[in-house]
Amino acid sequence: MMAAVIGLLCAAVGTVQAQTAPDAVKTFIEQQMPAGKGRVEITVGSLDPRLQLAPCGRIEPYLLPGTRLWGRTSIGVRCLSGANWAVSLPITVSVYGPAVVATEPLAAGVSPPLSSFQVIETELSREQGTPVTDPAQLVGRTLTRSVAAGQVIRAEQLRMAQTVASGDPLKIEMIGQGFVIQGEGQALGAGSEGQPIRVRTDNGRIVAGTLRGRTVEIRI
């Protein structure tokens, strides 16, 4: 497919060799992709048939301003020998990699076990948002919306599970250089592990710290 389309480009520009042009475009795109992005497939679209391009001895692909090589996009192709022109060439960059997928329907607000998910190769470039690639990212988190079986889990669909409700009693640890002061307090709002939370101490003072289990850590 790509060779045929680039063949049309070669015919339009005249003297560019049909075997060199597709390799140059494909190699250029592959060189721009970050390492470890996964398996990449490149499909090259067609030039506008109304274009009338002067014969060219050598072309060069280049990135257009603001281009992201992800999904349907475009790159530039310009003539370096024999003429002075540049065109935009449509391409599709399909990126495949591991993603966490639900194996059963899941309701919003639940913290499903890891057995409710599997990791499969997915076309990441077709997914909206940020696909979750590691099941460990699901631990201690709840779903913000329902998920259908076979659906890719996105980071935007997850939040830390609530471990403390407003009014819950909590321990307080004020940690300084070489000392720890302990006390008791009451949560002034709901909280999740590792998140900031405000508490009222026994003497009525309001302080803020980081929730660790049933303890609020305050570093001073």
Q: What is the pLDDT of residues 41-90, one digit of tens each?
A: 998 887 778 888 888 888 899 999 998 899 999 999 998 988 888 888 88
Which 3-state string (H, E, C) describes 50-76? CCCCCCCCEEEEECCCCCCCCEEEEEE
* CA nearest neighbour of 114 among 104, 125, 124, 122: 104
Q: Residue 55 contacts by C-beta under 8 Å, 6 or more apart in sequence? A: 13, 14, 15, 82, 83
Q: Is the pTM of this model over 0.75?
A: no
Q: Of 31, 37, 125, which is closest to residue 75 (Cα–Cα)?
A: 31
3-class DSSP assignment, residue 46: coil
Q: What is the CA radius of gyration of the chain?
A: 28
> Would you call 78 helix, strand, or coil by DSSP?
strand
Per-residue pLDDT of 130-152, as tens digits, reads: 899 998 888 888 898 999 999 99
Domains and CATH numbers, the chain: 2-94 (no CATH), 96-160 (3.90.1210.10), 162-219 (2.30.30.760)
Q: What is the mean pLDDT of residues 30-42?
A: 84
